[in-house]
Amino acid sequence: MEENDKMVGDTRKKKQYKPKALSEIFEHGKVPPQATDLEEAVLGAIMLEKDALASIIDVIRPDAFYKEAHQIIFMAITRLFAKGEPIDILTVTNELKFTGELETAGGPFYIAQLTNRVASASNTEFHARIILQKFIQRELIRISSEIIHDAYEDTTDVFQLLDKAENQLFSVGETNMRRNYLDMQSLVRDAVKRIEAAKNQTGQFSGVPSGFTELDRVTAGWQPSDLIIVAARPGMGKTAFVLTMARNVAVEFKKAVAVFSLEMSSVQLVTRLISAEAQLPGDKLRKGNLENYEWEQLNAKISTLIDAPLYIDDTPSLSVFELRAKCRRLKAQHDIQMVVIDYIQLMSAGIDRSSGNREQEISTISRSLKSLAKELNIPVIALSQLNRSVEQRPNKKPLLSDLRESGAIEQDADMVVFIYRPEYYNQSVDEGGASLVGHAEISIAKHRNGALKDVPLRFISKYAKFTDPEPGDFDISGALAPNGKFENGINTLTVQSKMNDMHEDHDVPY
**Percent of the chain predicted with pLDDT > 70:** 78
31 belongs to a structural domain:
no
Average pLDDT score over residue span 138-147: 88
215 belongs to a structural domain:
yes
Q: Are residues 165 and 311 in the same domain?
A: no
The boundaries of the domain holding residue 453 are: 205-350+357-467
Q: Are residues 402 and 448 in the same domain?
A: yes
Average pLDDT score over residue span 314-341: 83
pLDDT (tens digit, 9 = 90+) per residue, 376-414? 888 999 888 887 777 777 777 787 877 766 667 777 788
Q: What confidence score (pLDDT) does residue 51 get?
A: 75
496 belongs to a structural domain:
no
In this predicted structure, the answer to whether residue 363 has a pLDDT above a threshold of 70 is yes
End-to-end CA distance of the chain: 92
Q: Do the beta carbons of residue 323 and residue 347 sit within 8 Å?
A: yes
Q: pLDDT class for 8, splitting at 50, 70, 90?
A: very low
425 belongs to a structural domain:
yes
Q: Are residues 343 and 394 in the same domain?
A: yes
Q: Are residues 252 and 119 in the same domain?
A: no
Q: What confidence score (pLDDT) does residue 472 get?
A: 56
Question: From residue 128, how far is each of 132, 134, 498 by CA, in Å?
Answer: 6, 10, 63
DSSP 257: E
Q: Do the beta carbons of residue 113 and residue 107 sit within 8 Å?
A: no
Q: pLDDT class for 262, splitting at 50, 70, 90?
A: confident
In this predicted structure, the answer to whether residue 231 has a pLDDT above a threshold of 80 is yes
In this predicted structure, the answer to whether residue 367 has a pLDDT above a threshold of 60 is yes
CA atoms 272, 276, 280, 282: torsion sign: positive
- What is the domain-level CATH number for residue 262? 3.40.50.300
Q: What confidence score (pLDDT) does residue 173 get?
A: 67
Single residue among 175, 193, 222 that ends a domain in this structure: 175
185 belongs to a structural domain:
no
Q: What confidence score (pLDDT) does residue 485 get?
A: 36
Q: Are residues 228 and 371 in the same domain?
A: yes
Q: What gap in Å lies between CA 102 and CA 80, rounded to an integer?
A: 15
- Size (the chain), residues: 510
Q: pLDDT class for 70, splitting at 50, 70, 90?
A: very high
119 belongs to a structural domain:
yes
Average pLDDT score over residue span 434-454: 81
28 belongs to a structural domain:
no
Average pLDDT score over residue span 335-358: 74
The residue that leads in pLDDT, 508 or 432, is 432
In this predicted structure, the answer to whether residue 368 has a pLDDT above a threshold of 50 is yes
Q: pLDDT class for 21, splitting at 50, 70, 90?
A: very low
Q: Which of 324, 331, 339, 341 is nearest to 264 (CA)?
A: 341
Give the three-state DSSP class for 97: helix
Query: For this structure, is 24 an active site residue?
Result: no
Average pLDDT score over residue span 362-371: 84
Q: Which of 40, 263, 361, 410 is catalytic?
A: 263
Q: What confidence score (pLDDT) does residue 187 get?
A: 64
At position 186, the amino acid (one-letter code) is S
Q: Are residues 49 and 166 in the same domain?
A: yes
In this predicted structure, the answer to whether residue 15 has a pLDDT above a threshold of 60 is no
Q: Are residues 103 and 41 in the same domain?
A: yes
Average pLDDT score over residue span 105-131: 85
In this predicted structure, the answer to whether residue 118 has a pLDDT above a threshold of 60 is yes
R_g (Cα) of the chain, nearest Å = 30
Q: What is the DSSP string of 55-70?
A: HHTTT--GGGSSSHHH
Highest mean pLDDT among 132-146, 293-307, 342-356: 132-146
- What is the domain-level CATH number for residue 50? 1.10.860.10
**Average pLDDT over the chain, rounded to whole?**
75
The residue that leads in pLDDT, 249 or 497, is 249
Q: Are residues 257 and 155 in the same domain?
A: no
In this predicted structure, the answer to whether residue 25 has a pLDDT above a threshold of 50 is no
In this predicted structure, the answer to whether residue 27 has a pLDDT above a threshold of 70 is no
Q: Are residues 112 and 154 in the same domain?
A: yes
Q: pLDDT class for 73, splitting at 50, 70, 90?
A: very high
508 belongs to a structural domain:
no
In this predicted structure, the answer to whether residue 504 has a pLDDT above a threshold of 50 is no
Q: What confidence score (pLDDT) does residue 195 get?
A: 66
Q: What confidence score (pLDDT) does residue 482 get?
A: 36
Q: What confidence score (pLDDT) does residue 210 get?
A: 83
In this predicted structure, the answer to whether residue 501 has a pLDDT above a threshold of 70 is no
In this predicted structure, the answer to whether residue 83 has a pLDDT above a threshold of 70 is yes
Q: Are residues 171 and 209 in the same domain?
A: no
Strand partners for 384: 231
In this predicted structure, the answer to whether residue 81 has a pLDDT above a threshold of 60 is yes
User: Among 52-66, 201-215, 419-433, 484-498, which stretch is predicted with the lowest mean pLDDT?
Assistant: 484-498
Q: Are residues 166 and 220 in the same domain?
A: no
Q: Do the beta carbons of residue 508 and residue 462 sit within 8 Å?
A: no
Q: What confidence score (pLDDT) does residue 509 get?
A: 40
In this predicted structure, the answer to whether residue 119 has a pLDDT above a threshold of 50 is yes
User: Among 192-196, 348-352, 447-451, 470-474, which stretch is predicted with the lowest mean pLDDT?
Assistant: 470-474
Q: Are residues 145 and 43 in the same domain?
A: yes
CA atoms 502, 503, 508, 510: torsion sign: negative
**Percent of the chain predicted with pLDDT > 90:** 2
Q: pLDDT class for 3, splitting at 50, 70, 90?
A: very low
Query: How many domains is the chain built from?
Result: 2
